[in-house]
Amino acid sequence: MFEKLVAIEPVSLIPSAEKELFQYAKEVVLYDDIPADDEEIIRRIGDADAVLLSYTSRIERPVLERCPNIRYIGMCCSLYSEASANVDIAYARTKGIKVLGIRDYGDRGVVEYVLHELTGILHGFGMPMLRDEPVEIYGLKVGIVGLGVSGRMIADALSFLGADISYYSRTRKPDAEQAGMTYKPLNQLLQDSEVVFTCLNKNVLLLGKEEFAQLGSGKVLFNTSIGPGFDSAALEDWLTQPGSHFFCDTRAAAGPVADGFFDRPNVHCQNVSAGRTKQAFVLLSQKVLANIQTALAE
């Protein structure tokens, strides 16, 4: 059992999971706002030996140096790699601090967002229609850039509806190819696809000026990654081409764009995280608690 566990900011646990935290620490403190700076983070952590945070704050080396009691940090958000994490995991390791994160808890909501927006533009439901007449997903040439968990779920959903799926990934996916999906080099995929989805890890940027030139006009680009999977300036240039459309659920997914970007008629952003659903919070809570149990067992 931990002596003191502090959630330095809202971490999206469901009420029953918040109650369960008291089984793993003698004292539990949950903050309901985001700390303004490192000094406030340090004050909130104090003498705690366990810390929880979400994606809205960072715990870097200066914080860890001034909070010597920490032995566990639980990231209540996606952890894809040390380089993209909002915790200095490498330095934490040198101090014997265990850091665990979660992933793959909000993907179903993202798939539903994709289906909603894609059928909208193909049929003209609530937005300009992509072609001069309604078209179905059946036979649509779809390119998936990054065939991880969420990319594969999108591919499976669209494949079920009859889309022609191609993918690009760092490694070949034999199971996807057995399911009828075709591997293509990135430039070829961009040329051949009518609709492209970037489903990449945080801070992975694959589309620049050259790639957008390969994508060409009359195409649709969805970014379902946490951050941009492209050079944002190149995206803005591409959107000047006729018939081009860009979709993202949150503004952060477009990256550092110019003022007025989201006012463009061919930019479609709900500015709501599609993965933050009731079911996702349940799954997030389960994974956060499982990580705490793992840390205490070691």
Contact in structure between 120 and 245 (CB atoms under 8 Å): no
Among the residues of the chain, which ranges form H helices? 15-20, 38-45, 61-65, 89-94, 107-123, 149-160, 174-178, 186-192, 209-215, 232-238, 278-297
Contact in structure between 41 and 59 (CB atoms under 8 Å): yes
**Domain 107-269, what fold?**
Rossmann fold (3.40.50)
Q: Is the pLDDT of residue 227 over 90?
A: no
Q: For residue 293, what are its two tokens?
A: 């149990």
3-state secondary structure of 267: strand
Amino acid at 240: T
Interatomic CA distance for residues 166 and 13, integer angstroms: 37
Give the residue-averaged pLDDT of 59-70: 97
Contact in structure between 189 and 196 (CB atoms under 8 Å): yes
DSSP state of 217: S
Read off the pLDDT band of 279 (50, 70, 90): very high
Q: For residue 84, what are its two tokens?
A: 């993209």
CB within 8 A of 272, min separation 6: which ones? 249, 250
CB within 8 A of 73, min separation 6: which ones? 50, 51, 52, 53, 59, 87, 92, 97, 98, 99, 100
Q: For residue 193, what are its two tokens?
A: 């696809």
The pLDDT, as a whole number, for residue 226 is 81
Interatomic CA distance for residues 249 and 82, integer angstroms: 25
Tell me the pTM.
0.85
pLDDT mean across residues, the chain: 95
Q: Is the pLDDT of residue 109 over 80?
A: yes
Read off the pLDDT band of 147 (50, 70, 90): very high
- Give the pLDDT confidence of 156-186 residue by residue, as tens digits: 999 999 999 999 999 999 999 999 999 999 9
Element (H, E) at 246: strand 245-248
| Percent of the chain clearing pLDDT 70 (strictly above) | 100
Give the residue-averaged pLDDT of 54-83: 94
DSSP state of 185: -
CATH ID of 2-105+278-297, from 1.10.540.10, 3.30.1490.20, 3.40.50.300, 3.40.50.720: 3.40.50.720
- Give the pLDDT confidence of 11-23 residue by residue, as tens digits: 999 999 999 999 9
Q: Is the pLDDT of residue 202 over 80?
A: no
Which residues of the chain are in CATH 3.40.50.720 domains? 2-105+278-297, 107-269
CB within 8 A of 116, min separation 6: which ones? none
Rounded to 5°, the CA angle 172-176-178 comes to 105
* Number of helices and strands in the chain (H, E): 11, 12
